[in-house]
Chains A and B, each alone.
Chain A
Protein backbone atom coordinates (compact mmCIF):
# COMPACT_ATOMS: atom_id res chain seq x y z
CA UNK A 1 0.00 0.00 0.00
CA UNK A 2 1.32 3.42 -0.96
CA UNK A 3 1.73 6.25 1.57
CA UNK A 4 2.93 8.80 -0.97
CA UNK A 5 0.22 8.58 -3.61
CA UNK A 6 -3.25 10.03 -3.31
CA UNK A 7 -6.25 7.74 -3.80
CA UNK A 8 -7.26 4.31 -2.57
CA UNK A 9 -5.31 1.07 -2.94
CA UNK A 10 -7.07 -1.78 -4.75
CA UNK A 11 -5.39 -5.19 -4.57
CA UNK A 12 -5.09 -7.43 -7.64
CA UNK A 13 -8.59 -8.39 -8.83
CA UNK A 14 -10.45 -5.90 -6.58
CA UNK A 15 -13.39 -4.28 -8.33
CA UNK A 16 -13.35 -0.47 -8.50
CA UNK A 17 -16.73 -0.33 -10.16
CA UNK A 18 -19.18 -2.97 -11.38
CA UNK A 19 -21.23 -3.09 -14.54
CA UNK A 20 -24.90 -2.32 -13.86
CA UNK A 21 -24.23 -0.62 -10.51
CA UNK A 22 -25.35 2.92 -9.77
CA UNK A 23 -22.56 5.46 -9.44
CA UNK A 24 -21.87 9.16 -9.50
CA UNK A 25 -18.07 9.34 -9.29
CA UNK A 26 -15.30 9.46 -11.81
CA UNK A 27 -11.93 7.77 -11.22
CA UNK A 28 -8.32 8.58 -12.08
CA UNK A 29 -5.58 5.92 -12.02
CA UNK A 30 -2.65 7.20 -9.97
CA UNK A 31 -0.41 4.14 -9.94
CA UNK A 32 -0.54 0.62 -11.42
CA UNK A 33 -3.00 -0.59 -14.02
CA UNK A 34 -6.68 -1.46 -14.24
CA UNK A 35 -8.70 -3.61 -16.62
CA UNK A 36 -11.98 -2.44 -18.15
CA UNK A 37 -14.29 -5.26 -19.22
CA UNK A 38 -17.89 -6.00 -20.09
CA UNK A 39 -19.64 -8.99 -18.65
CA UNK A 40 -21.92 -10.80 -21.11
CA UNK A 41 -23.45 -14.21 -21.57
CA UNK A 42 -20.28 -15.47 -23.25
CA UNK A 43 -18.10 -14.39 -20.33
CA UNK A 44 -16.08 -11.21 -19.71
CA UNK A 45 -14.77 -9.26 -22.73
CA UNK A 46 -11.79 -7.02 -22.11
CA UNK A 47 -12.34 -3.53 -23.47
CA UNK A 48 -8.96 -2.16 -22.53
CA UNK A 49 -6.23 -1.54 -19.98
CA UNK A 50 -5.73 1.82 -18.31
CA UNK A 51 -2.54 3.15 -16.73
CA UNK A 52 -1.47 6.06 -14.46
CA UNK A 53 -3.19 9.30 -15.47
CA UNK A 54 -6.13 7.59 -17.21
CA UNK A 55 -9.69 8.58 -16.33
CA UNK A 56 -12.66 6.20 -16.24
CA UNK A 57 -16.28 6.23 -15.06
CA UNK A 58 -16.70 9.77 -16.41
CA UNK A 59 -20.04 8.97 -18.09
CA UNK A 60 -21.66 8.87 -14.65
CA UNK A 61 -20.97 12.60 -14.31
CA UNK A 62 -23.17 13.42 -17.26
CA UNK A 63 -25.89 10.76 -17.24
CA UNK A 64 -27.89 9.02 -14.57
CA UNK A 65 -27.59 5.42 -15.79
CA UNK A 66 -25.98 2.22 -14.47
CA UNK A 67 -22.29 1.64 -15.15
CA UNK A 68 -21.72 0.29 -18.67
CA UNK A 69 -18.66 -1.82 -17.79
CA UNK A 70 -16.70 -3.19 -14.85
CA UNK A 71 -13.23 -2.08 -13.82
CA UNK A 72 -10.82 -4.03 -11.61
CA UNK A 73 -7.21 -3.66 -10.53
CA UNK A 74 -4.53 -5.69 -12.26
CA UNK A 75 -1.63 -6.46 -9.95
CA UNK A 76 -2.73 -3.69 -7.55
CA UNK A 77 -3.55 -0.09 -8.37
CA UNK A 78 -3.94 3.25 -6.59
CA UNK A 79 -7.06 5.03 -7.84
CA UNK A 80 -8.42 8.47 -6.95
CA UNK A 81 -12.19 9.03 -6.73
CA UNK A 82 -13.50 12.35 -8.04
CA UNK A 83 -16.90 13.34 -6.64
CA UNK A 84 -19.61 14.51 -8.99
CA UNK A 85 -20.55 17.23 -6.49
CA UNK A 86 -17.00 18.64 -6.27
CA UNK A 87 -16.71 18.70 -10.04
CA UNK A 88 -20.13 20.18 -10.78
CA UNK A 89 -19.65 22.86 -8.13
CA UNK A 90 -16.43 23.86 -9.91
CA UNK A 91 -17.86 23.63 -13.45
CA UNK A 92 -20.50 26.17 -12.41
CA UNK A 93 -17.75 28.76 -11.82
CA UNK A 94 -15.22 27.47 -14.34
CA UNK A 95 -16.70 25.73 -17.40
CA UNK A 96 -13.17 25.04 -18.69
CA UNK A 97 -12.92 22.12 -16.23
CA UNK A 98 -15.41 20.33 -18.46
CA UNK A 99 -13.30 20.81 -21.61
CA UNK A 100 -10.68 18.29 -20.50
CA UNK A 101 -13.45 15.75 -19.88
CA UNK A 102 -14.95 16.53 -23.29
CA UNK A 103 -11.54 15.93 -24.87
CA UNK A 104 -11.46 12.52 -23.17
CA UNK A 105 -14.99 11.67 -24.36
CA UNK A 106 -14.04 12.78 -27.90
CA UNK A 107 -10.99 10.52 -27.70
CA UNK A 108 -13.22 7.60 -26.71
CA UNK A 109 -15.55 8.22 -29.69
CA UNK A 110 -12.55 8.41 -32.01
CA UNK A 111 -11.22 5.17 -30.53
CA UNK A 112 -14.61 3.47 -30.98
CA UNK A 113 -14.78 4.66 -34.61
CA UNK A 114 -11.41 3.12 -35.39
CA UNK A 115 -12.34 -0.11 -33.59
CA UNK A 116 -15.58 -0.38 -35.60
CA UNK A 117 -13.64 0.22 -38.84
CA UNK A 118 -11.11 -2.46 -37.86
CA UNK A 119 -13.88 -4.94 -37.01
CA UNK A 120 -15.74 -4.26 -40.23
CA UNK A 121 -12.54 -4.66 -42.21
CA UNK A 122 -11.82 -7.93 -40.41
CA UNK A 123 -15.30 -9.38 -40.91
CA UNK A 124 -15.53 -8.14 -44.51
CA UNK A 125 -18.57 -6.03 -43.79
CA UNK A 126 -19.10 -3.19 -46.23
CA UNK A 127 -19.54 0.34 -45.10
CA UNK A 128 -23.20 1.24 -45.42
CA UNK A 129 -24.24 4.24 -47.38
CA UNK A 130 -26.25 6.72 -45.35
CA UNK A 131 -29.98 6.07 -45.63
CA UNK A 132 -32.08 8.63 -47.41
CA UNK A 133 -34.25 10.64 -45.03
CA UNK A 134 -37.93 9.80 -45.25
CA UNK A 135 -40.01 12.19 -47.20
CA UNK A 136 -42.43 14.16 -45.12
CA UNK A 137 -45.56 15.81 -46.23
Chain B
Protein backbone atom coordinates (compact mmCIF):
# COMPACT_ATOMS: atom_id res chain seq x y z
CA UNK B 1 0.00 0.00 0.00
CA UNK B 2 1.49 3.36 -1.06
CA UNK B 3 1.68 6.34 1.21
CA UNK B 4 0.74 9.71 -0.21
CA UNK B 5 2.73 12.83 0.42
CA UNK B 6 1.00 16.15 -0.19
CA UNK B 7 -1.54 14.42 -2.37
CA UNK B 8 1.06 12.71 -4.54
CA UNK B 9 2.85 9.38 -4.45
CA UNK B 10 6.56 9.26 -3.62
CA UNK B 11 8.52 7.18 -6.11
CA UNK B 12 11.03 6.07 -3.52
CA UNK B 13 8.28 4.93 -1.19
CA UNK B 14 6.67 2.94 -3.97
CA UNK B 15 9.71 0.72 -4.20
CA UNK B 16 11.14 0.82 -0.71
CA UNK B 17 8.16 1.02 1.59
CA UNK B 18 9.40 0.90 5.15
CA UNK B 19 13.07 1.36 4.25
CA UNK B 20 15.27 4.06 5.79
CA UNK B 21 14.69 7.08 3.59
CA UNK B 22 15.32 10.78 3.84
CA UNK B 23 12.59 13.28 4.65
CA UNK B 24 9.69 13.04 2.19
CA UNK B 25 10.23 16.56 0.85
CA UNK B 26 13.65 15.47 -0.41
CA UNK B 27 12.17 12.75 -2.60
CA UNK B 28 10.84 13.10 -6.13
CA UNK B 29 7.07 13.11 -6.41
CA UNK B 30 4.56 12.83 -9.22
CA UNK B 31 4.71 15.95 -11.39
CA UNK B 32 8.11 17.14 -10.08
CA UNK B 33 10.26 19.06 -12.56
CA UNK B 34 13.71 17.83 -13.56
CA UNK B 35 16.15 19.87 -15.70
CA UNK B 36 18.95 18.15 -17.58
CA UNK B 37 21.65 20.51 -18.85
CA UNK B 38 23.34 19.04 -21.93
CA UNK B 39 21.89 16.68 -24.51
CA UNK B 40 25.04 14.57 -24.85
CA UNK B 41 25.19 10.88 -23.87
CA UNK B 42 25.25 11.54 -20.09
CA UNK B 43 22.15 13.77 -20.18
CA UNK B 44 20.28 11.48 -22.57
CA UNK B 45 21.14 8.30 -20.65
CA UNK B 46 20.02 9.96 -17.40
CA UNK B 47 16.73 11.17 -18.90
CA UNK B 48 16.01 7.87 -20.63
CA UNK B 49 16.59 5.70 -17.55
CA UNK B 50 14.86 8.17 -15.20
CA UNK B 51 11.74 8.15 -17.35
CA UNK B 52 11.90 4.39 -17.91
CA UNK B 53 12.10 3.77 -14.17
CA UNK B 54 9.31 6.28 -13.48
CA UNK B 55 7.18 4.70 -16.21
CA UNK B 56 7.62 1.24 -14.71
CA UNK B 57 6.22 2.69 -11.47
CA UNK B 58 3.39 4.40 -13.37
CA UNK B 59 4.52 7.81 -12.17
CA UNK B 60 4.96 10.87 -14.34
CA UNK B 61 7.87 13.30 -14.04
CA UNK B 62 8.45 16.41 -16.13
CA UNK B 63 11.92 16.34 -17.73
CA UNK B 64 13.41 19.24 -19.77
CA UNK B 65 16.70 18.64 -21.62
CA UNK B 66 18.54 21.89 -22.38
CA UNK B 67 20.68 21.53 -25.50
CA UNK B 68 21.25 24.63 -27.63
CA UNK B 69 23.08 22.80 -30.45
CA UNK B 70 21.58 20.96 -33.40
CA UNK B 71 23.43 17.69 -32.80
CA UNK B 72 22.67 16.27 -36.23
CA UNK B 73 24.29 19.25 -37.95
CA UNK B 74 27.64 18.51 -39.69
CA UNK B 75 30.62 20.67 -38.73
CA UNK B 76 31.52 22.39 -35.46
CA UNK B 77 27.87 23.38 -34.74
CA UNK B 78 26.87 19.82 -33.85
CA UNK B 79 30.27 18.39 -32.92
CA UNK B 80 31.07 17.07 -29.47
CA UNK B 81 34.86 16.99 -29.90
CA UNK B 82 35.45 13.30 -29.26
CA UNK B 83 37.12 10.30 -30.92
CA UNK B 84 33.76 8.52 -30.95
CA UNK B 85 34.41 4.97 -29.76
CA UNK B 86 31.71 2.88 -28.10
CA UNK B 87 33.60 0.27 -26.11
CA UNK B 88 33.09 -3.47 -26.39
CA UNK B 89 31.45 -3.69 -22.96
CA UNK B 90 29.16 -0.70 -23.57
CA UNK B 91 27.93 -2.08 -26.92
CA UNK B 92 26.93 -5.27 -25.07
CA UNK B 93 25.37 -3.52 -22.09
CA UNK B 94 23.31 -1.21 -24.30
CA UNK B 95 22.03 -4.23 -26.23
CA UNK B 96 21.12 -5.95 -22.94
CA UNK B 97 19.29 -2.75 -21.97
CA UNK B 98 17.35 -2.87 -25.26
CA UNK B 99 19.36 -0.08 -26.95
CA UNK B 100 20.75 -1.33 -30.28
CA UNK B 101 22.91 0.95 -32.42
CA UNK B 102 21.37 1.42 -35.88
CA UNK B 103 23.68 0.95 -38.91
CA UNK B 104 23.39 4.65 -39.85
CA UNK B 105 24.91 5.58 -36.46
CA UNK B 106 27.74 3.02 -36.62
CA UNK B 107 30.38 4.51 -38.91
CA UNK B 108 32.44 1.34 -38.72
CA UNK B 109 32.17 -1.80 -36.62
CA UNK B 110 35.60 -2.80 -35.28
CA UNK B 111 36.93 -6.25 -34.47
CA UNK B 112 40.65 -5.71 -33.84
CA UNK B 113 43.32 -3.35 -32.54
CA UNK B 114 46.65 -3.00 -34.29
CA UNK B 115 49.48 -1.90 -32.04
CA UNK B 116 52.19 0.09 -33.87
CA UNK B 117 55.67 0.71 -32.52
CA UNK B 118 59.05 1.49 -34.04
CA UNK B 119 60.07 -2.16 -33.51
CA UNK B 120 57.08 -3.77 -35.18
CA UNK B 121 53.31 -4.10 -35.24
CA UNK B 122 50.93 -6.64 -33.82
CA UNK B 123 47.25 -7.24 -34.48
CA UNK B 124 45.06 -8.16 -31.50
CA UNK B 125 41.73 -9.71 -32.46
CA UNK B 126 38.57 -9.59 -30.35
CA UNK B 127 38.29 -12.74 -28.25
CA UNK B 128 35.33 -14.03 -30.33
CA UNK B 129 36.46 -12.56 -33.68
CA UNK B 130 33.34 -10.45 -33.57
CA UNK B 131 32.79 -6.75 -34.30
CA UNK B 132 31.88 -5.51 -30.86
CA UNK B 133 33.31 -1.98 -30.92
CA UNK B 134 31.50 0.83 -32.72
CA UNK B 135 33.18 3.90 -34.24
CA UNK B 136 30.64 6.74 -34.39
CA UNK B 137 30.34 10.47 -34.90
CA UNK B 138 29.02 12.16 -31.79
CA UNK B 139 27.57 14.98 -33.93
CA UNK B 140 26.68 15.04 -37.61
CA UNK B 141 30.32 14.51 -38.66
CA UNK B 142 32.69 17.01 -40.27
CA UNK B 143 31.50 19.70 -42.69
CA UNK B 144 29.92 18.41 -45.93
CA UNK B 145 29.34 15.00 -44.30
CA UNK B 146 26.87 12.82 -46.28
CA UNK B 147 23.30 12.96 -45.00
CA UNK B 148 23.25 9.16 -44.48
CA UNK B 149 25.54 9.58 -41.45
CA UNK B 150 23.63 9.89 -38.20
CA UNK B 151 24.78 11.43 -34.97
CA UNK B 152 25.21 9.08 -31.99
CA UNK B 153 24.27 11.85 -29.54
CA UNK B 154 21.13 12.67 -31.55
CA UNK B 155 20.16 8.98 -31.57
CA UNK B 156 20.34 8.88 -27.76
CA UNK B 157 18.58 12.23 -27.42
CA UNK B 158 15.73 10.95 -29.59
CA UNK B 159 15.45 7.87 -27.34
CA UNK B 160 15.10 10.15 -24.29
CA UNK B 161 12.52 12.31 -26.07
CA UNK B 162 10.54 9.22 -27.12
CA UNK B 163 10.36 8.33 -23.43
CA UNK B 164 8.80 11.72 -22.72
CA UNK B 165 11.65 14.21 -22.18
CA UNK B 166 11.14 17.66 -23.73
CA UNK B 167 14.03 19.11 -25.71
CA UNK B 168 14.61 22.81 -25.03
CA UNK B 169 16.88 24.34 -27.69
CA UNK B 170 18.12 26.99 -25.26
CA UNK B 171 21.41 27.81 -23.60
CA UNK B 172 21.39 27.86 -19.81
CA UNK B 173 23.55 30.80 -18.76
CA UNK B 174 23.17 30.92 -15.00
CA UNK B 175 21.95 29.10 -11.93
CA UNK B 176 20.83 30.45 -8.58
CA UNK B 177 19.53 28.91 -5.36
CA UNK B 178 16.30 30.35 -4.00
CA UNK B 179 13.50 29.00 -1.75
CA UNK B 180 15.31 25.69 -1.39
CA UNK B 181 15.28 25.00 -5.14
CA UNK B 182 17.69 25.56 -8.06
CA UNK B 183 16.59 28.14 -10.66
CA UNK B 184 17.97 28.22 -14.20
CA UNK B 185 18.36 31.35 -16.32
CA UNK B 186 18.22 31.49 -20.11
CA UNK B 187 18.58 34.56 -22.37
CA UNK B 188 15.24 36.21 -23.25
CA UNK B 189 13.25 33.90 -21.01
CA UNK B 190 12.06 33.97 -17.43
CA UNK B 191 14.02 31.83 -14.94
CA UNK B 192 12.70 28.32 -14.35
CA UNK B 193 12.44 26.61 -10.96
CA UNK B 194 13.25 22.89 -10.77
CA UNK B 195 13.09 20.15 -8.14
CA UNK B 196 16.26 18.56 -9.50
CA UNK B 197 18.98 19.82 -11.85
CA UNK B 198 21.31 17.31 -13.48
CA UNK B 199 24.35 18.65 -15.28
CA UNK B 200 25.82 16.68 -18.18
CA UNK B 201 27.30 19.65 -19.97
CA UNK B 202 30.90 18.49 -20.37
CA UNK B 203 34.07 20.12 -19.04
CA UNK B 204 34.22 22.77 -21.75
CA UNK B 205 31.01 24.43 -20.49
CA UNK B 206 31.36 27.80 -18.73
CA UNK B 207 28.21 27.05 -16.76
CA UNK B 208 30.24 24.81 -14.43
CA UNK B 209 31.87 27.97 -13.01
CA UNK B 210 28.41 29.25 -12.06
CA UNK B 211 27.60 26.01 -10.24
CA UNK B 212 30.94 26.22 -8.44
CA UNK B 213 30.15 29.83 -7.46
CA UNK B 214 26.98 28.66 -5.67
CA UNK B 215 29.31 27.40 -2.91
CA UNK B 216 27.29 24.23 -2.34
CA UNK B 217 30.21 21.80 -2.48
CA UNK B 218 30.74 21.33 -6.21
CA UNK B 219 34.15 22.08 -7.71
CA UNK B 220 35.07 21.62 -11.35
CA UNK B 221 37.10 18.58 -12.44
CA UNK B 222 40.78 18.87 -13.41
CA UNK B 223 41.28 18.85 -17.16
CA UNK B 224 43.95 18.49 -19.81
CA UNK B 225 44.08 19.37 -23.51
CA UNK B 226 43.74 16.67 -26.15
CA UNK B 227 43.67 16.73 -29.93
CA UNK B 228 41.12 15.36 -32.40
CA UNK B 229 41.29 15.68 -36.18
CA UNK B 230 39.73 14.16 -39.29
CA UNK B 231 41.33 12.96 -42.53
CA UNK B 232 39.14 12.35 -45.60
CA UNK B 233 40.57 9.26 -47.29
CA UNK B 234 37.62 7.56 -48.95
CA UNK B 235 36.23 4.09 -48.35
CA UNK B 236 38.63 2.22 -50.62
CA UNK B 237 41.77 3.55 -48.94
CA UNK B 238 40.29 3.00 -45.48
CA UNK B 239 39.35 -0.59 -46.30
CA UNK B 240 42.83 -1.27 -47.70
CA UNK B 241 45.02 0.58 -45.17
CA UNK B 242 42.98 0.41 -41.97
CA UNK B 243 40.27 -2.28 -42.30
CA UNK B 244 37.89 -2.90 -39.41
CA UNK B 245 40.64 -2.20 -36.85
CA UNK B 246 41.59 0.65 -34.57
CA UNK B 247 45.28 1.57 -34.87
CA UNK B 248 47.05 2.42 -31.65
CA UNK B 249 50.58 3.90 -31.50
CA UNK B 250 53.10 3.39 -28.72
CA UNK B 251 55.78 5.90 -29.66
CA UNK B 252 58.51 7.37 -27.52
CA UNK B 253 57.18 10.93 -27.41
CA UNK B 254 57.15 13.04 -24.27
CA UNK B 255 53.66 14.02 -22.97
CA UNK B 256 51.92 11.54 -25.29
CA UNK B 257 50.00 8.83 -23.39
CA UNK B 258 47.80 7.41 -26.11
CA UNK B 259 47.37 7.91 -29.84
CA UNK B 260 44.90 6.22 -32.14
CA UNK B 261 43.66 6.34 -35.71
CA UNK B 262 40.00 5.37 -35.81
CA UNK B 263 38.60 4.34 -39.22
CA UNK B 264 35.08 5.49 -40.00
CA UNK B 265 32.98 5.34 -43.17
CA UNK B 266 34.99 7.69 -45.44
CA UNK B 267 37.19 9.44 -42.88
CA UNK B 268 39.77 8.52 -40.28
CA UNK B 269 39.75 10.24 -36.89
CA UNK B 270 43.07 10.87 -35.13
CA UNK B 271 42.90 11.15 -31.37
CA UNK B 272 45.87 12.14 -29.18
CA UNK B 273 45.69 11.97 -25.39
CA UNK B 274 48.32 13.03 -22.90
CA UNK B 275 49.51 16.07 -21.04
CA UNK B 276 48.54 19.34 -22.71
CA UNK B 277 48.84 18.25 -26.32
CA UNK B 278 50.01 21.18 -28.46
CA UNK B 279 50.48 21.77 -32.23
CA UNK B 280 54.22 20.86 -32.06
CA UNK B 281 53.48 17.45 -30.57
CA UNK B 282 50.74 16.89 -33.17
CA UNK B 283 53.20 17.73 -35.95
CA UNK B 284 55.85 15.36 -34.59
CA UNK B 285 53.31 12.57 -34.29
CA UNK B 286 51.91 12.96 -37.81
CA UNK B 287 55.44 12.99 -39.23
CA UNK B 288 56.53 9.84 -37.39
CA UNK B 289 57.32 7.08 -39.94
CA UNK B 290 55.04 4.60 -38.10
CA UNK B 291 52.11 6.98 -38.66
CA UNK B 292 53.00 8.16 -42.17
CA UNK B 293 53.09 4.60 -43.49
CA UNK B 294 49.39 4.22 -42.71
CA UNK B 295 48.51 6.73 -45.42
CA UNK B 296 48.75 6.18 -49.21
CA UNK B 297 52.36 6.53 -50.39
CA UNK B 298 51.42 8.71 -53.39
CA UNK B 299 49.33 11.29 -51.52
CA UNK B 300 50.90 11.12 -48.06
CA UNK B 301 49.02 12.47 -45.04
CA UNK B 302 46.12 14.51 -46.46
CA UNK B 303 45.04 17.93 -45.18
CA UNK B 304 42.94 17.88 -42.03
CA UNK B 305 39.20 18.29 -42.67
CA UNK B 306 38.83 19.84 -39.23
CA UNK B 307 40.62 19.75 -35.92
CA UNK B 308 40.16 20.80 -32.31
CA UNK B 309 41.97 20.81 -28.97
CA UNK B 310 39.17 19.84 -26.57
CA UNK B 311 39.73 19.55 -22.83
CA UNK B 312 38.98 16.27 -21.08
CA UNK B 313 38.30 15.43 -17.47
CA UNK B 314 41.32 13.73 -15.83
CA UNK B 315 40.68 14.47 -12.17
CA UNK B 316 36.98 14.14 -11.49
CA UNK B 317 34.93 16.51 -9.37
CA UNK B 318 35.64 15.77 -5.67
CA UNK B 319 31.92 16.01 -4.93
CA UNK B 320 29.80 15.59 -8.09
CA UNK B 321 26.54 16.36 -6.30
CA UNK B 322 24.91 18.92 -4.03
CA UNK B 323 21.39 19.40 -2.74
CA UNK B 324 18.99 18.81 -5.66
CA UNK B 325 21.92 18.75 -8.11
CA UNK B 326 24.00 16.04 -9.75
CA UNK B 327 26.95 16.24 -12.14
CA UNK B 328 27.20 13.34 -14.55
CA UNK B 329 29.62 12.25 -17.29
CA UNK B 330 32.50 14.64 -17.95
CA UNK B 331 31.00 17.34 -15.68
CA UNK B 332 31.40 15.01 -12.71
CA UNK B 333 33.61 11.97 -13.01
CA UNK B 334 34.68 9.89 -15.98
CA UNK B 335 37.12 7.06 -16.72
CA UNK B 336 40.74 8.07 -17.14
CA UNK B 337 41.52 8.52 -20.87
CA UNK B 338 39.11 5.74 -21.96
CA UNK B 339 35.47 4.88 -22.39
CA UNK B 340 34.07 8.34 -21.65
CA UNK B 341 30.73 7.33 -23.16
CA UNK B 342 30.72 4.23 -20.92
CA UNK B 343 31.26 6.49 -17.90
CA UNK B 344 28.40 8.73 -19.09
CA UNK B 345 26.19 5.61 -19.18
CA UNK B 346 27.26 4.50 -15.71
CA UNK B 347 26.95 7.89 -14.00
CA UNK B 348 23.78 8.84 -15.90
CA UNK B 349 22.06 5.61 -14.91
CA UNK B 350 23.34 5.76 -11.32
CA UNK B 351 22.04 9.34 -11.03
CA UNK B 352 18.61 8.31 -12.38
CA UNK B 353 18.37 5.40 -9.94
CA UNK B 354 19.53 7.56 -7.00
CA UNK B 355 17.03 10.32 -7.81
CA UNK B 356 14.09 7.92 -8.06
CA UNK B 357 14.90 5.43 -5.34
CA UNK B 358 17.03 7.39 -2.90
CA UNK B 359 16.14 11.08 -2.74
CA UNK B 360 17.75 14.35 -3.74
CA UNK B 361 19.24 15.77 -0.53
CA UNK B 362 23.03 16.01 -0.31
CA UNK B 363 23.03 13.10 2.14
CA UNK B 364 20.77 10.96 -0.08
CA UNK B 365 23.01 11.56 -3.08
CA UNK B 366 26.11 10.80 -1.03
CA UNK B 367 24.53 7.48 -0.10
CA UNK B 368 23.01 6.51 -3.41
CA UNK B 369 24.87 8.35 -6.22
CA UNK B 370 28.39 8.80 -4.85
CA UNK B 371 29.23 5.03 -4.65
CA UNK B 372 29.06 4.73 -8.47
CA UNK B 373 31.32 7.81 -8.84
CA UNK B 374 33.68 6.60 -6.11
CA UNK B 375 34.06 3.24 -7.89
CA UNK B 376 35.18 5.07 -11.06
CA UNK B 377 37.48 7.40 -9.07
CA UNK B 378 39.16 4.49 -7.26
CA UNK B 379 39.54 2.58 -10.50
CA UNK B 380 41.14 5.65 -12.10
CA UNK B 381 43.75 5.69 -9.31
CA UNK B 382 44.78 2.17 -10.39
CA UNK B 383 44.54 3.31 -14.03
CA UNK B 384 47.09 6.06 -13.31
CA UNK B 385 49.55 3.45 -12.04
CA UNK B 386 48.93 1.31 -15.12
CA UNK B 387 49.46 4.23 -17.51
CA UNK B 388 52.65 5.13 -15.63
CA UNK B 389 54.00 1.59 -16.05
CA UNK B 390 52.79 1.50 -19.64
CA UNK B 391 54.65 4.80 -20.19
CA UNK B 392 57.87 3.25 -18.84
CA UNK B 393 57.42 0.27 -21.17
CA UNK B 394 56.78 2.25 -24.30
CA UNK B 395 59.60 4.68 -23.63
CA UNK B 396 62.32 1.99 -23.69
CA UNK B 397 63.11 0.28 -26.98
CA UNK B 398 63.95 -3.11 -25.45
CA UNK B 399 60.66 -3.25 -23.53
CA UNK B 400 58.68 -2.25 -26.64
CA UNK B 401 60.39 -5.13 -28.41
CA UNK B 402 59.47 -7.52 -25.56
CA UNK B 403 55.86 -6.33 -25.61
CA UNK B 404 55.48 -6.84 -29.35
CA UNK B 405 57.25 -10.23 -29.23
CA UNK B 406 55.11 -11.55 -26.37
CA UNK B 407 51.84 -10.38 -27.97
CA UNK B 408 52.79 -11.69 -31.43
CA UNK B 409 53.62 -15.12 -30.00
CA UNK B 410 50.28 -15.24 -28.18
CA UNK B 411 48.31 -14.21 -31.26
CA UNK B 412 50.07 -16.82 -33.41
CA UNK B 413 49.68 -19.62 -30.85
CA UNK B 414 45.89 -19.87 -31.02
CA UNK B 415 45.91 -20.65 -27.29
CA UNK B 416 42.99 -19.25 -25.29
CA UNK B 417 45.47 -18.09 -22.60
CA UNK B 418 46.78 -14.82 -24.04
CA UNK B 419 47.61 -12.69 -20.99
CA UNK B 420 49.45 -9.80 -22.65
CA UNK B 421 46.90 -9.59 -25.48
CA UNK B 422 44.03 -9.43 -23.02
CA UNK B 423 45.77 -6.82 -20.85
CA UNK B 424 46.53 -4.62 -23.87
CA UNK B 425 43.04 -5.17 -25.27
CA UNK B 426 41.36 -4.07 -22.07
CA UNK B 427 43.66 -1.07 -21.59
CA UNK B 428 43.12 0.14 -25.17
CA UNK B 429 39.40 -0.53 -25.35
CA UNK B 430 38.52 0.40 -21.78
CA UNK B 431 36.30 -2.70 -21.71
CA UNK B 432 37.29 -3.88 -18.23
CA UNK B 433 37.94 -1.91 -15.02
CA UNK B 434 41.61 -0.98 -14.55
CA UNK B 435 41.57 -2.87 -11.23
CA UNK B 436 40.69 -6.11 -12.99
CA UNK B 437 43.43 -5.59 -15.60
CA UNK B 438 45.94 -4.76 -12.85
CA UNK B 439 45.10 -7.96 -10.95
CA UNK B 440 45.74 -9.95 -14.13
CA UNK B 441 49.23 -8.43 -14.40
CA UNK B 442 50.05 -9.76 -10.92
CA UNK B 443 49.56 -13.36 -12.07
CA UNK B 444 52.94 -15.15 -11.59
CA UNK B 445 52.58 -16.79 -15.02
CA UNK B 446 52.16 -13.36 -16.65
CA UNK B 447 55.12 -11.91 -14.73
CA UNK B 448 57.29 -14.92 -15.68
CA UNK B 449 56.39 -14.62 -19.37
CA UNK B 450 57.01 -10.87 -19.42
CA UNK B 451 60.32 -11.25 -17.59
CA UNK B 452 61.40 -13.94 -20.07
CA UNK B 453 60.52 -11.71 -23.04
CA UNK B 454 62.26 -8.71 -21.46
CA UNK B 455 65.38 -10.82 -20.91
CA UNK B 456 65.30 -12.03 -24.51
CA UNK B 457 64.93 -8.49 -25.81
CA UNK B 458 67.94 -7.32 -23.79
CA UNK B 459 70.14 -10.25 -24.81
CA UNK B 460 71.94 -9.76 -28.13
CA UNK B 461 69.86 -12.48 -29.81
CA UNK B 462 68.25 -11.90 -33.16
CA UNK B 463 64.50 -12.03 -32.41
CA UNK B 464 62.24 -10.29 -34.84
CA UNK B 465 58.54 -9.92 -34.07
CA UNK B 466 56.13 -11.50 -36.45
Residues of A within 8 A of B (CB): 2-8, 26, 28, 30-31, 52-53, 55, 80-83, 86-87, 89-90, 93-94, 96-97, 99-101
Contact = CB atoms under 8 A, between A and B. Distances in A.
Given A3-B108, A4-B265, A80 B98 contact: no
B96 A6 contact: no
Which 8 pairs from chain A and chain B are nearest by CB?
Answer: A28-B95, A8-B130, A82-B92, A4-B103, A6-B109, A4-B106, A5-B103, A86-B89
Contacts of A52: 100
Contacts of B101: 6
A81 B56 CA distance: 27
A7 B244 contact: no
Interface of B: 49, 53, 56, 88-89, 91-93, 95-98, 100-101, 103-104, 106-109, 128-134, 244, 265, 346, 349-350, 353, 372, 375, 431, 433
B103 A7 contact: no
Interface residues of A: mostly helix, strand, loop or mixed? mixed
B202 to A, nearest CB: 23
A135 to B, nearest CB: 34
A4 to B, nearest CB: 5
Contacts of A6: 91, 101, 106, 109, 131-134
Given A6-B134, A55-B96, 15 more contacts: A4-B104, A4-B108, A4-B109, A5-B103, A5-B106, A6-B106, A80-B95, A81-B92, A81-B130, A90-B93, A93-B372, A94-B349, A94-B372, A99-B56, A100-B98
A82 B93 CA distance: 8
Contacts of B88: 86
Contacts of A90: 89, 93
Given A93-B372, A96-B49, A97-B97, A7 B92 contact: no
Contacts, number: 88
Contacts of A86: 88-89, 92-93, 431
Contact of B96 (A53, A93, A100): A100
Contacts of A93: 346, 372, 375
17 contacts: A4-B103, A4-B109, A5-B103, A6-B101, A7-B131, A28-B95, A53-B100, A55-B96, A81-B132, A82-B92, A83-B92, A86-B89, A87-B96, A94-B349, A94-B350, A97-B96, A97-B97
Nearest to A96: B353
